[in-house]
């Protein structure tokens, strides 16, 4: 199966939460799932997002049992910033990231890759997260927030994906401003986007569509 790239409109939108849901849901359908967190910043001792993702996969896929959190990442950095900024010594090589993805792909039928930040976050001076999705031809899932102002962020990210000619799905992770989401944001999505979905309500349909591609 083609790997799934989980991205978002920005940081702290719910990429890790979404990836954990995907790991659990696909695994329960009998799919051998693996995970990769190519770059994690804000790491002091161990990459916590990678740790959570790996532990989830290890519950289902024995091929990942012997791995450590650092084994599912290509790079970790202490500074909580965009990879290009966190990588003060400019050590990142895109080939190393690609090799890590290829390596982990051999251990599963479906590899889920969690990005860092949003689509336009720079990995190097000339290479962004969206370039990774494009170059590796990854099926992309864009996670958007439910807070006030999210319509603008969602539209900008959708336009970026379209401009790169990337096949994608998108969903809303309803957790911020959820009391006002149905009045402040949902009417626009209903009017403009047929078939848009919330993470906790439309996941089963997404799984079905993904498996039938």
Which residues carry out catalysis? 37
Instruction: Report CA-CA distances (Å) from 136 to 99, 139, 166.
Output: 11, 9, 10
Taking only Cα atoms into account, the Rg of the chain, rounded to an integer number of angstroms, comes to: 17
DSSP alpha helix (H) spans, the chain: 15-28, 48-58, 83-86, 94-105, 129-135, 150-163, 181-184, 186-192, 199-211
How many Å apart are CA 159 and CA 152, to the nearest integer?
11
Contacts of 89 (CB under 8 A, 6+ apart): none
> Rounded to a whole number, what is the distance in angstroms from the first to the last CA of the chain?
9
């Amino acid at each position: 199966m083609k790997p799934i790239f989980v991205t978002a409109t920005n940081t702290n939108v719910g990429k890790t939460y979404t990836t954990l849901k995907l790991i659990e849901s696909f695994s329960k359908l009998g799919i051998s799932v693996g995970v990769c967190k190519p770059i994690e910043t804000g790491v002091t001792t161990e990459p916590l997002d990678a740790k959570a993702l790996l532990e989830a996969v290890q519950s289902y896929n024995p091929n990942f049992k012997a791995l450590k959190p650092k084994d599912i990442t290509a790079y970790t950095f202490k500074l909580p910033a965009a990879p290009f900024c966190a990588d003060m010594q400019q050590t990142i090589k895109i080939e190393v990231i690609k090799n890590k993805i290829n390596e982990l792909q051999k251990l599963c039928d479906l590899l889920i890759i969690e990005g860092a930040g949003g689509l336009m976050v720079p990995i190097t001076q000339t290479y962004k997260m969206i370039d990774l999705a494009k170059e590796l031809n990854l099926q992309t899932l864009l996670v958007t927030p439910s807070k006030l102002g999210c319509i603008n962020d969602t539209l900008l990210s959708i336009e970026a994906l379209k401009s790169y000619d990337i096949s994608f799905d998108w969903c809303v992770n309803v957790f911020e401003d959820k009391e006002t989401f149905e009045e402040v944001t949902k009417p626009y999505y209903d009017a403009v986007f047929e078939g848009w979905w919330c993470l906790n309500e439309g996941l089963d349909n997404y799984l079905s569509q993904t498996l039938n591609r």
